[in-house]
Amino acid sequence: MHIDIQSTISNWKKFTLTNQQNMSVSLLNYGGIITTINVPDRHNIIENVVLGFKNLAHYAQNPNFLGAIIGRVAGRIQEASFAIEGQTYHLEANEGAHHLHGGAGGLHQVIWAATPFQTEDTVGVSFTHTSVDGEGGYPGTVENAVTYTLTNNNELIVDYSATSDQATVLTLTNHSYFNLSGNMKRTIHDHLVTIASDEFIELDNELIPTGNKLDVTHTPFDFRTGRPIVDGINSTHTQNILAGHGYDHYFILNPKQQEAIQVQDEVSGRVMTITTNQPGVVMYTANNLSEGLELANGLSKRYDGICFETQASPASLHHEGFPTVRLEADVPYHKQTVFSFGVVKE
Protein backbone atom coordinates (compact mmCIF):
# COMPACT_ATOMS: atom_id res chain seq x y z
CA MET A 1 0.00 0.00 0.00
CA HIS A 2 1.30 3.46 -0.75
CA ILE A 3 0.31 7.05 -1.52
CA ASP A 4 1.93 9.24 -4.12
CA ILE A 5 1.33 12.99 -3.72
CA GLN A 6 1.95 15.26 -6.68
CA SER A 7 1.59 19.03 -6.92
CA THR A 8 -0.22 20.04 -10.09
CA ILE A 9 -1.63 23.36 -11.31
CA SER A 10 -2.02 26.27 -8.88
CA ASN A 11 -2.44 24.83 -5.38
CA TRP A 12 -4.05 21.59 -6.53
CA LYS A 13 -2.62 18.29 -5.38
CA LYS A 14 -3.13 14.84 -6.85
CA PHE A 15 -3.14 11.84 -4.54
CA THR A 16 -2.64 8.37 -6.02
CA LEU A 17 -3.58 5.45 -3.77
CA THR A 18 -2.22 2.01 -4.68
CA ASN A 19 -2.97 -1.31 -3.00
CA GLN A 20 -1.16 -4.65 -3.04
CA GLN A 21 -3.30 -5.88 -5.97
CA ASN A 22 -1.96 -2.99 -8.14
CA MET A 23 -5.36 -1.32 -8.11
CA SER A 24 -4.94 2.44 -7.95
CA VAL A 25 -7.18 5.47 -7.48
CA SER A 26 -6.14 9.06 -8.22
CA LEU A 27 -7.87 11.99 -6.51
CA LEU A 28 -7.64 15.78 -6.61
CA ASN A 29 -8.06 18.06 -3.62
CA TYR A 30 -9.95 20.27 -6.10
CA GLY A 31 -13.56 19.10 -5.97
CA GLY A 32 -12.49 15.85 -4.29
CA ILE A 33 -12.43 14.58 -7.87
CA ILE A 34 -11.67 10.96 -8.79
CA THR A 35 -9.57 11.25 -11.95
CA THR A 36 -8.70 7.57 -12.53
CA ILE A 37 -9.50 4.14 -11.13
CA ASN A 38 -7.20 1.46 -12.50
CA VAL A 39 -8.37 -2.14 -11.99
CA PRO A 40 -7.57 -5.52 -13.60
CA ASP A 41 -9.73 -7.35 -16.13
CA ARG A 42 -10.15 -11.14 -16.33
CA HIS A 43 -6.68 -11.42 -17.88
CA ASN A 44 -5.18 -9.21 -15.14
CA ILE A 45 -4.74 -6.31 -17.58
CA ILE A 46 -5.00 -3.12 -15.53
CA GLU A 47 -6.91 -0.27 -17.15
CA ASN A 48 -8.79 2.88 -16.18
CA VAL A 49 -12.54 2.45 -15.57
CA VAL A 50 -13.67 6.08 -15.06
CA LEU A 51 -13.84 9.07 -17.37
CA GLY A 52 -11.33 11.83 -16.69
CA PHE A 53 -9.73 14.75 -18.48
CA LYS A 54 -6.37 14.33 -20.21
CA ASN A 55 -5.39 17.80 -18.96
CA LEU A 56 -6.11 18.32 -15.25
CA ALA A 57 -6.65 22.05 -15.82
CA HIS A 58 -9.91 21.22 -17.60
CA TYR A 59 -11.46 20.22 -14.28
CA ALA A 60 -11.65 23.94 -13.45
CA GLN A 61 -14.76 24.06 -15.69
CA ASN A 62 -16.06 20.48 -15.70
CA PRO A 63 -19.71 21.15 -16.70
CA ASN A 64 -20.35 17.39 -16.73
CA PHE A 65 -19.11 17.02 -13.11
CA LEU A 66 -16.63 14.25 -14.02
CA GLY A 67 -15.59 12.39 -10.86
CA ALA A 68 -16.52 15.20 -8.48
CA ILE A 69 -18.03 15.42 -5.02
CA ILE A 70 -21.51 16.92 -5.45
CA GLY A 71 -23.22 19.11 -2.87
CA ARG A 72 -24.67 20.64 -0.91
CA VAL A 73 -27.55 18.88 -2.65
CA ALA A 74 -26.97 16.36 -5.43
CA GLY A 75 -29.60 16.49 -8.14
CA ARG A 76 -32.14 19.05 -9.27
CA ILE A 77 -34.06 21.34 -6.94
CA GLN A 78 -37.33 22.45 -8.52
CA GLU A 79 -37.58 26.19 -9.22
CA ALA A 80 -34.24 26.64 -7.39
CA SER A 81 -36.01 27.14 -4.07
CA PHE A 82 -37.19 25.31 -1.00
CA ALA A 83 -38.70 26.12 2.38
CA ILE A 84 -37.70 25.17 5.93
CA GLU A 85 -40.18 25.97 8.70
CA GLY A 86 -41.92 28.59 6.62
CA GLN A 87 -38.81 30.38 5.40
CA THR A 88 -38.09 30.18 1.68
CA TYR A 89 -34.52 29.95 0.44
CA HIS A 90 -33.58 30.88 -3.12
CA LEU A 91 -30.67 29.19 -4.87
CA GLU A 92 -28.87 29.77 -8.15
CA ALA A 93 -30.92 28.67 -11.17
CA ASN A 94 -28.12 27.01 -13.14
CA GLU A 95 -30.22 24.65 -15.27
CA GLY A 96 -33.16 26.54 -16.72
CA ALA A 97 -35.34 27.61 -13.81
CA HIS A 98 -33.87 24.93 -11.57
CA HIS A 99 -30.85 24.35 -9.35
CA LEU A 100 -28.49 21.51 -10.24
CA HIS A 101 -25.75 19.84 -8.17
CA GLY A 102 -25.11 22.69 -5.73
CA GLY A 103 -24.78 25.40 -8.36
CA ALA A 104 -21.68 26.95 -9.89
CA GLY A 105 -20.08 27.35 -6.49
CA GLY A 106 -20.89 23.83 -5.36
CA LEU A 107 -18.54 21.43 -3.62
CA HIS A 108 -17.27 20.20 -7.01
CA GLN A 109 -15.40 23.50 -7.45
CA VAL A 110 -13.76 24.13 -4.08
CA ILE A 111 -10.30 23.20 -2.88
CA TRP A 112 -10.68 20.78 0.00
CA ALA A 113 -8.20 20.43 2.85
CA ALA A 114 -6.59 17.00 2.43
CA THR A 115 -5.13 14.57 4.96
CA PRO A 116 -3.64 11.36 3.55
CA PHE A 117 -3.48 8.27 5.78
CA GLN A 118 -2.24 4.71 5.68
CA THR A 119 -2.84 1.62 7.82
CA GLU A 120 -1.62 -1.96 7.51
CA ASP A 121 -4.28 -2.83 4.93
CA THR A 122 -5.78 0.48 3.76
CA VAL A 123 -4.65 3.73 2.21
CA GLY A 124 -6.69 6.87 1.73
CA VAL A 125 -7.32 10.58 1.89
CA SER A 126 -9.73 12.58 4.06
CA PHE A 127 -11.04 15.79 2.51
CA THR A 128 -12.66 18.51 4.64
CA HIS A 129 -14.37 21.77 3.75
CA THR A 130 -16.47 24.33 5.61
CA SER A 131 -19.46 25.64 3.69
CA VAL A 132 -20.52 28.89 5.37
CA ASP A 133 -24.05 30.04 6.15
CA GLY A 134 -25.68 31.57 3.07
CA GLU A 135 -23.18 30.12 0.62
CA GLY A 136 -25.02 29.46 -2.63
CA GLY A 137 -28.21 30.51 -0.87
CA TYR A 138 -28.19 27.56 1.52
CA PRO A 139 -28.79 28.07 5.25
CA GLY A 140 -26.35 26.90 7.92
CA THR A 141 -22.60 26.59 8.25
CA VAL A 142 -21.81 23.00 7.34
CA GLU A 143 -18.63 21.11 8.19
CA ASN A 144 -18.17 18.57 5.40
CA ALA A 145 -15.82 15.58 5.32
CA VAL A 146 -15.42 13.05 2.53
CA THR A 147 -12.96 10.18 3.03
CA TYR A 148 -11.79 7.87 0.27
CA THR A 149 -10.30 4.57 1.49
CA LEU A 150 -8.74 1.92 -0.76
CA THR A 151 -8.50 -1.62 0.65
CA ASN A 152 -6.52 -4.65 -0.43
CA ASN A 153 -9.81 -6.28 -1.44
CA ASN A 154 -10.12 -3.79 -4.33
CA GLU A 155 -12.78 -1.81 -2.51
CA LEU A 156 -13.03 1.97 -2.72
CA ILE A 157 -14.93 3.11 0.37
CA VAL A 158 -16.40 6.62 0.28
CA ASP A 159 -17.52 8.02 3.65
CA TYR A 160 -19.50 11.26 3.78
CA SER A 161 -19.86 13.14 7.07
CA ALA A 162 -21.30 16.54 7.90
CA THR A 163 -22.82 18.65 10.65
CA SER A 164 -24.73 21.92 10.38
CA ASP A 165 -25.29 24.64 12.98
CA GLN A 166 -28.88 25.11 11.79
CA ALA A 167 -31.56 23.17 9.95
CA THR A 168 -30.60 22.88 6.29
CA VAL A 169 -30.68 20.52 3.31
CA LEU A 170 -27.85 18.19 2.34
CA THR A 171 -27.21 15.08 0.31
CA LEU A 172 -23.68 14.42 -0.93
CA THR A 173 -22.58 12.05 -3.67
CA ASN A 174 -19.78 11.33 -6.13
CA HIS A 175 -20.32 11.87 -9.86
CA SER A 176 -17.85 9.42 -11.40
CA TYR A 177 -18.66 8.07 -14.85
CA PHE A 178 -17.79 4.37 -14.92
CA ASN A 179 -16.87 2.39 -18.01
CA LEU A 180 -15.75 -1.14 -17.20
CA SER A 181 -14.51 -1.87 -20.74
CA GLY A 182 -11.22 -0.28 -19.67
CA ASN A 183 -9.61 2.85 -21.13
CA MET A 184 -12.96 3.76 -22.74
CA LYS A 185 -12.60 1.09 -25.43
CA ARG A 186 -16.36 0.70 -25.82
CA THR A 187 -19.48 2.56 -24.78
CA ILE A 188 -21.68 1.34 -21.93
CA HIS A 189 -24.45 0.01 -24.20
CA ASP A 190 -23.71 -3.60 -23.25
CA HIS A 191 -22.96 -3.04 -19.56
CA LEU A 192 -25.22 -5.43 -17.64
CA VAL A 193 -26.71 -3.64 -14.63
CA THR A 194 -28.60 -5.07 -11.65
CA ILE A 195 -30.36 -2.72 -9.21
CA ALA A 196 -32.35 -3.84 -6.17
CA SER A 197 -35.22 -1.42 -6.79
CA ASP A 198 -38.97 -1.87 -7.20
CA GLU A 199 -39.77 1.80 -7.87
CA PHE A 200 -38.30 4.82 -9.62
CA ILE A 201 -39.29 8.49 -9.60
CA GLU A 202 -41.15 9.83 -12.61
CA LEU A 203 -39.67 12.92 -14.28
CA ASP A 204 -41.25 15.71 -16.28
CA ASN A 205 -39.79 17.04 -19.53
CA GLU A 206 -37.38 19.29 -17.57
CA LEU A 207 -36.13 16.23 -15.62
CA ILE A 208 -37.87 17.44 -12.45
CA PRO A 209 -39.66 14.81 -10.32
CA THR A 210 -43.44 14.89 -10.76
CA GLY A 211 -44.08 13.46 -7.31
CA ASN A 212 -45.08 10.06 -8.71
CA LYS A 213 -43.31 6.81 -7.97
CA LEU A 214 -43.57 4.28 -10.79
CA ASP A 215 -43.44 0.49 -10.49
CA VAL A 216 -40.52 -0.91 -12.50
CA THR A 217 -42.40 -4.11 -13.42
CA HIS A 218 -42.68 -4.73 -17.18
CA THR A 219 -40.65 -1.60 -17.99
CA PRO A 220 -37.05 -0.93 -19.10
CA PHE A 221 -36.54 0.31 -15.51
CA ASP A 222 -36.73 -3.19 -14.05
CA PHE A 223 -33.10 -4.03 -13.24
CA ARG A 224 -33.92 -6.51 -10.46
CA THR A 225 -32.61 -9.50 -12.40
CA GLY A 226 -30.19 -7.56 -14.59
CA ARG A 227 -30.48 -5.96 -18.02
CA PRO A 228 -28.18 -4.22 -20.50
CA ILE A 229 -28.23 -0.42 -20.64
CA VAL A 230 -28.98 -0.57 -24.37
CA ASP A 231 -32.56 -1.58 -23.45
CA GLY A 232 -33.17 1.94 -22.16
CA ILE A 233 -31.22 3.67 -24.92
CA ASN A 234 -33.37 2.02 -27.59
CA SER A 235 -36.57 2.13 -25.56
CA THR A 236 -39.77 3.90 -26.65
CA HIS A 237 -40.79 4.36 -23.00
CA THR A 238 -41.65 8.03 -22.46
CA GLN A 239 -39.34 8.26 -19.44
CA ASN A 240 -36.32 6.99 -21.41
CA ILE A 241 -37.04 9.35 -24.30
CA LEU A 242 -37.40 12.53 -22.21
CA ALA A 243 -34.12 11.77 -20.42
CA GLY A 244 -32.35 11.92 -23.80
CA HIS A 245 -32.74 8.24 -24.74
CA GLY A 246 -31.37 6.55 -21.64
CA TYR A 247 -31.58 6.95 -17.90
CA ASP A 248 -31.29 9.93 -15.55
CA HIS A 249 -33.62 8.63 -12.87
CA TYR A 250 -33.77 8.09 -9.13
CA PHE A 251 -34.25 4.46 -8.13
CA ILE A 252 -35.51 3.78 -4.60
CA LEU A 253 -33.33 0.98 -3.25
CA ASN A 254 -34.67 -2.07 -1.47
CA PRO A 255 -33.23 -1.70 2.05
CA LYS A 256 -33.25 -5.48 2.59
CA GLN A 257 -30.61 -6.08 -0.09
CA GLN A 258 -27.12 -5.08 0.97
CA GLU A 259 -25.55 -5.32 -2.48
CA ALA A 260 -27.74 -2.68 -4.06
CA ILE A 261 -26.12 -2.46 -7.49
CA GLN A 262 -23.94 -4.62 -9.69
CA VAL A 263 -22.43 -3.70 -13.06
CA GLN A 264 -20.75 -6.18 -15.39
CA ASP A 265 -18.85 -5.87 -18.65
CA GLU A 266 -18.87 -9.26 -20.32
CA VAL A 267 -15.92 -8.68 -22.67
CA SER A 268 -13.43 -7.49 -20.03
CA GLY A 269 -14.97 -9.63 -17.30
CA ARG A 270 -14.90 -6.70 -14.90
CA VAL A 271 -17.60 -6.50 -12.23
CA MET A 272 -18.37 -3.55 -9.94
CA THR A 273 -20.60 -4.02 -6.91
CA ILE A 274 -22.00 -1.04 -5.02
CA THR A 275 -23.20 -1.18 -1.43
CA THR A 276 -24.60 1.88 0.32
CA ASN A 277 -26.66 3.08 3.27
CA GLN A 278 -28.21 5.74 1.07
CA PRO A 279 -31.93 5.22 0.32
CA GLY A 280 -31.60 5.50 -3.44
CA VAL A 281 -29.46 6.13 -6.48
CA VAL A 282 -29.63 8.27 -9.61
CA MET A 283 -28.42 6.22 -12.55
CA TYR A 284 -27.27 8.49 -15.36
CA THR A 285 -26.12 6.99 -18.64
CA ALA A 286 -24.36 10.06 -20.08
CA ASN A 287 -27.19 10.71 -22.55
CA ASN A 288 -26.26 14.40 -22.54
CA LEU A 289 -22.51 14.14 -22.03
CA SER A 290 -20.68 16.89 -23.91
CA GLU A 291 -19.12 15.47 -27.08
CA GLY A 292 -15.50 16.05 -28.09
CA LEU A 293 -14.02 16.62 -24.63
CA GLU A 294 -10.35 15.66 -24.54
CA LEU A 295 -10.41 12.82 -22.04
CA ALA A 296 -7.48 10.69 -20.91
CA ASN A 297 -8.60 7.82 -23.13
CA GLY A 298 -9.97 9.71 -26.16
CA LEU A 299 -12.64 12.22 -27.15
CA SER A 300 -15.91 12.03 -25.27
CA LYS A 301 -19.22 10.97 -26.78
CA ARG A 302 -22.65 10.07 -25.48
CA TYR A 303 -22.90 6.84 -23.47
CA ASP A 304 -19.18 6.76 -22.69
CA GLY A 305 -19.88 6.28 -18.99
CA ILE A 306 -22.49 5.52 -16.36
CA CYS A 307 -22.97 7.33 -13.04
CA PHE A 308 -24.40 5.84 -9.86
CA GLU A 309 -25.18 8.84 -7.67
CA THR A 310 -26.13 7.30 -4.32
CA GLN A 311 -28.11 9.92 -2.42
CA ALA A 312 -31.38 11.02 -0.85
CA SER A 313 -33.94 12.72 -3.09
CA PRO A 314 -34.33 16.49 -3.59
CA ALA A 315 -37.89 15.63 -4.69
CA SER A 316 -38.54 15.46 -0.93
CA LEU A 317 -38.36 19.28 -0.82
CA HIS A 318 -41.56 19.58 -2.86
CA HIS A 319 -43.33 16.24 -2.48
CA GLU A 320 -44.28 13.94 0.40
CA GLY A 321 -43.01 10.40 0.73
CA PHE A 322 -39.50 10.66 -0.70
CA PRO A 323 -36.16 10.06 1.06
CA THR A 324 -35.49 13.39 2.78
CA VAL A 325 -32.54 15.69 2.20
CA ARG A 326 -33.28 17.70 5.35
CA LEU A 327 -30.51 17.85 7.94
CA GLU A 328 -31.32 19.13 11.41
CA ALA A 329 -28.98 21.33 13.43
CA ASP A 330 -26.19 19.47 15.24
CA VAL A 331 -27.38 16.07 13.99
CA PRO A 332 -24.46 14.16 12.43
CA TYR A 333 -24.83 13.20 8.77
CA HIS A 334 -23.00 10.01 7.88
CA LYS A 335 -23.40 8.06 4.66
CA GLN A 336 -21.21 5.45 3.04
CA THR A 337 -20.94 4.00 -0.45
CA VAL A 338 -18.54 1.18 -1.31
CA PHE A 339 -17.41 0.41 -4.86
CA SER A 340 -15.99 -3.14 -5.03
CA PHE A 341 -14.16 -4.33 -8.13
CA GLY A 342 -13.63 -7.90 -9.28
CA VAL A 343 -14.01 -10.16 -12.30
CA VAL A 344 -16.65 -12.61 -13.45
CA LYS A 345 -16.11 -16.09 -12.03
CA GLU A 346 -15.36 -18.33 -15.02
Tell me the C-alpha distance between 147 and 45, whole Å.
Answer: 28
**What's residue 309's pLDDT?**
98
**What's residue 256's pLDDT?**
78
Mean pLDDT calculated for residue range 90-103 = 94
**What's residue 9's pLDDT?**
83
- In the residue annotation, 309 being an active-site residue is answered as yes
Q: What are 315-333's pLDDT values in tens digits?
A: 999 999 999 999 999 999 9
The answer to whether 83 and 183 are in contact (CB under 8 A) is no
**What's residue 204's pLDDT?**
95
User: Beta strand 197-203 with 248-253: parallel, antiparallel or unpaired?
Assistant: antiparallel
Tell me the C-alpha distance between 240 and 17, whole Å.
Answer: 37
- pLDDT category of residue 312 using cuts at 50, 70 and 90: very high
pLDDT above 90 as % of the chain:
94
- pLDDT category of residue 118 using cuts at 50, 70 and 90: very high
The answer to whether 39 and 46 are in contact (CB under 8 A) is yes
**Quick check: pTM over 0.85?**
yes
Assign 9 to helix, strand or coil.
Answer: coil
Mean pLDDT calculated for residue range 280-302 = 96
In the set 47, 135, 199, 309, the catalytic residue is: 309
Q: What are 121-161's pLDDT values in tens digits?
A: 999 999 999 999 999 999 999 999 999 999 999 999 999 99
CATH class for the region spanning 2-343? mainly beta
What sign for the dihedral angle of Cα 69, 136, 87, 250?
A: negative
**What's residue 181's pLDDT?**
98
Instruction: Please calculate the CA angle 278-147-340 and round it to the nearest 5 degrees.
Output: 60
User: How does DSSP assign 237-257, residue by residue?
Assistant: -HHHHHTTSS-EEEEEE-TT-
- In the residue annotation, 175 being an active-site residue is answered as yes
Mean pLDDT calculated for residue range 188-204 = 97
**What's residue 8's pLDDT?**
84
Mean pLDDT calculated for residue range 251-269 = 91
What sign for the dihedral angle of Cα 275, 279, 283, 284?
A: negative
**What's residue 214's pLDDT?**
97
**What's residue 257's pLDDT?**
74
Tell me the C-alpha distance between 297 and 100, whole Å.
Answer: 27
Mean pLDDT of the residues in the chain: 96
Mean pLDDT calculated for residue range 253-268 = 90
- What residue spans define the domains of the chain? 2-343
Mean pLDDT calculated for residue range 334-338 = 97
Q: What are 2-12's pLDDT values in tens digits?
A: 999 898 888 89
**What's residue 255's pLDDT?**
86
**What's residue 259's pLDDT?**
80
Mean pLDDT calculated for residue range 8-17 = 92
CA-based radius of gyration for the chain: 19
In the set 175, 191, 199, 249, the catalytic residue is: 175
Q: What are 42-86's pLDDT values in tens digits?
A: 999 999 999 999 999 999 989 999 999 999 999 999 999 999 999
C-beta neighbour count of 264 within 10 angstroms: 21
Instruction: Please calculate the CA angle 179-257-327 and round it to the nearest 5 degrees.
Output: 85
